[in-house]
Chain A
Amino acid sequence: MLKRVINITPIDINFMTSTILSMLPFIIPLLIIEYGLMIFALVQAARNEVAYLPKWAWILIIVFFSIVGPIVFLIIGKKKETENND
Chain B
Amino acid sequence: MKSFKAYFKKEITEAIRTYKYLVLFFGFIFWPAMLGPMMLKLLPLILKNYMPAETMQLFSDFTRDYAFQSFLSDSFQFMLAFMAFVLMGLLANEVRLKRLVFPYSRGADPEGVVLAKYIHYAITVSLFILIAFFIDYLYVDRFFTGGILSLKILFESSLLYILYFCTLLSILLYLSSLFRRGLAAGFTVLILGFSLSIFNQFDTIKAYFPNYLILKAADIGHVFDSSLIPAIIISFCLIILFVFLSVLRMKKIDVA
Contact = CB atoms under 8 A, between A and B. Distances in A.
A4 to B, nearest CB: 7
Pick the most buried of A6, A8, A15, A23: most chain B CB atoms within 10 A of its CB: A23
B234 interface: no
What is the interface of chain A mostly: helix, strand, loop, or mixed? Answer: helix
Interface in B141-167: 142-143
A33 B30 contact: yes
A67 B26 contact: yes
B49 A8 contact: yes
Contact of A30 (B23, B34, B143): B34
A62 B97 CA distance: 28
B180 interface: no
Contacts, number: 54
Contact of B143 (A6, A23, A83): A23
B38 interface: yes
B23 A23 contact: no
A5 B30 contact: no
A15 B48 CA distance: 11
Interface residues of B, number: 24
Interface in A50-86: 67, 71, 74-75, 80, 82-83, 86
Contacts of A86: 97
A4 B52 contact: yes
A5 B51 CA distance: 7
B22 interface: yes
A30 B49 contact: no
B104 interface: no
A43 interface: no
A16 B50 CA distance: 14
Contacts of B50: 5
Given A37-B26, A71-B23, A75-B86, A7 B45 contact: no
Contact of A75 (B38, B85, B99, B143): B85
B86 to A, nearest CB: 7
A20 B52 contact: no
Contacts of A29: 34
B181 interface: no
Contact of A23 (B19, B38, B52, B97): B38
25 contacts: A1-B52, A4-B52, A5-B49, A5-B50, A7-B49, A8-B49, A12-B49, A16-B45, A16-B48, A19-B45, A20-B42, A26-B34, A26-B143, A27-B38, A29-B34, A30-B30, A30-B34, A30-B35, A67-B26, A67-B31, A71-B23, A74-B19, A74-B22, A80-B18, A82-B97
A-B residue pairs, 8 tightest by C-beta: A74-B19, A8-B49, A82-B97, A16-B45, A71-B23, A71-B26, A5-B50, A30-B34
